[in-house]
């Protein structure tokens, strides 16, 4: 075999031996590449799933309700507190000790009726002294009159000088002035002594008695003085109500009204509007209105709570929302409305009547709106939310079923998935 043949033969053998190793190496590399790709794909899928879970967890879940709808064409109903038509604390005008009181709490008294007798020993002594001083002044004045008359007659015969006559006349005028001063002092003390008897300034009911026999009485209503009685005139009785600004134009004197009280179910106490403040209160945006109601029976007690029905027709359906569905922001009172795209919208509201746990909405909401119950303060306008519909906590008014709110065109489903 030639050298070239041997060389060719060796070369071919070497090529055949390397071919399987190369194939194995290629397969291993390919497998590593595929495994790496699968690992990267798996990690990417896990990352995307984690990102979706994080994003879903960041979307708050909120409870939603519809506003409660009440039928219109009803009287305006507002809360009110009963007050006496006239009421006054009664104090003493003189100092002394309480001798006797004639009426206790709950007693009905007439104007001018005696309530209290007070012992006033100091005033009595001062009055006696002033009367004695008056008698002395009158005696001195009488003597000065005689002296002045006598000196005037003596002057005609030059029995006295002109100066002596002038002195006598001046003394006469001074003594008469002393008499007038003493008479005024006697009248003052007699007036003070008359204050030992305290009379009712008007007809009414005694609602307080703060004294008893032997109590030290000080004059006036300041310092250490003590209120003796509290007198209230309860017929008629008055009720003050705060009418929301939107209804203020419909309120004027003469409008009929009636009261309903829990302790007298089924009874209506009729009265009428007698006056308004003719001004809207800046803090409450309401019109102060007074309703007077006859109370000859005495059933209506001052301080009681009443539902005041003003006979003013309210047209159109009215919406009510729970007070815990509102946000109190610097921009004003707002509700969170959820649209069909699961987006929260902060809606500014105009509020009517305040029922305590609910508020009447005059503007800013529709019956088909979905509003968030107990919205978090961190909720922003346009933020995505997940929703869960819950029953409306507003109970129907007694004797009337509120209308069911119509469903919105596209209601967001209560689901955790993104729309």
What is the structure's pLDDT at 200?
93
| Distance in angstroms (rounded) separating the CA atoms of residues 24 and 30 | 10
β-pairing verdict for 229-244 and 74-90: antiparallel
Which DSSP symbol is given to 384?
B
* Domain positions in the chain: 1-51, 77-83+237-314, 86-199
List Cβ neighbours of 296 (8 Å cut-off, separation of 6 or more): 235
Q: Do domains 77-83+237-314 and 86-199 have the same CATH topology?
A: no
| Distance in angstroms (rounded) separating the CA atoms of residues 318 and 324 | 18
| Tokens standing for residue 52 | 């979706």
| Tokens standing for residue 278 | 């003719």
* pLDDT tens readout for residues 32-63: 787 777 777 777 776 666 666 666 556 778 88
Residue ranges in the chain whose pLDDT is less than 50? 1-3, 6-15, 397-419
| Distance in angstroms (rounded) separating the CA atoms of residues 205 and 90 | 12
| Distance in angstroms (rounded) separating the CA atoms of residues 284 and 29 | 81
Please give the CATH topology (third level) of the domain spanning 77-83+237-314: Elongation Factor Tu (Ef-tu); domain 3 (2.40.30)
Measured between alpha carbons, how far is residue 137 from residues 174, 181, 290 in Å?
10, 9, 58
**Cα 249-253-257 angle, rounded to 5 deg:** 95
Nearest one of 102, 97, 120 to 112, comparing CA atoms: 102
| Tokens standing for residue 16 | 């055949």
CATH number of 86-199: 1.10.287.470
* pTM for this model (two decimals): 0.55
| Tokens standing for residue 337 | 């409305």
Q: What residues form DSSP beta bridges with 292?
A: 238, 272
């Amino acid at each position: 075999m030639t050298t070239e043949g041997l060389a060719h033969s060796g070369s071919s053998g070497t090529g055949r031996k390397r071919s399987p190793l190369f194939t194995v190496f290629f397969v291993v590399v390919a497998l590593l590449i595929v495994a790496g790709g699968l690992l990267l794909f798996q990690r990417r899928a896990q990352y995307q799933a984690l990102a979706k879970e994080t994003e879903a967890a960041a979307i708050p879940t909120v409870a939603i309700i519809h506003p409660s709808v009440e039928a219109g064409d009803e009287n305006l109903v507002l809360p009110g507190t009963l007050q006496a038509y006239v009421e006054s604390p009664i104090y003493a005008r003189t100092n002394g000790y309480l001798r006797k009181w004639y009426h206790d709490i709950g007693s009905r008294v007439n104007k001018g009726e005696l309530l209290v007798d007070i012992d006033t020993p100091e005033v009595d002594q001062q009055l006696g002294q002033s009367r004695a001083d008056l008698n002395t002044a009158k005696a001195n004045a009488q003597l000065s009159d005689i002296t002045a008359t006598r000196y005037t007659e003596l002057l005609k015969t030059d029995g006295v000088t002109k100066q002596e006559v002038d002195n006598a006349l001046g003394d006469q005028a001074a003594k008469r002035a002393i008499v007038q001063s003493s008479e005024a002092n006697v009248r003052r003390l007699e007036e003070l002594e008359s204050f030992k008897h305290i009379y009712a300034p008007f007809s009414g009911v005694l609602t307080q008695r703060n004294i008893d026999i032997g109590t030290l009485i000080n004059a006036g209503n300041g310092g250490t003085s003590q209120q003796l009685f509290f007198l209230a005139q309860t017929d008629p009785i008055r009720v003050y109500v705060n009418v929301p600004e939107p209804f203020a134009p419909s309120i004027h004197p003469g409008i009929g009204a009636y009261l309903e009280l829990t302790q007298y179910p089924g009874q209506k106490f009729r009265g009428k509007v007698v006056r308004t403040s003719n001004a809207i209160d800046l803090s409450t945006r309401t019109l102060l209105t007074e309703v007077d109601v006859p109370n000859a029976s005495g059933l209506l007690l001052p301080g009681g709570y009443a539902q005041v029905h003003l006979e003013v027709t309210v047209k159109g359906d009215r919406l009510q929302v729970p007070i815990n569905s509102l946000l109190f922001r610097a921009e004003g009172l707002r509700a969170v409305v959820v649209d069909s795209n699961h987006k929260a919208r902060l809606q500014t509201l105009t509020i009517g009547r305040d029922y305590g746990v609910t508020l009447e909405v005059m503007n800013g909401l529709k019956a088909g709106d979905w509003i968030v119950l107990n919205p978090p303060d961190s909720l922003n306008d346009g933020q995505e939310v997940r929703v869960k519909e819950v029953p409306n906590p507003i109970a129907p008014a007694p004797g009337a079923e509120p209308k069911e709110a119509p469903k919105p065109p596209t209601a967001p489903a209560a689901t955790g998935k993104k729309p």
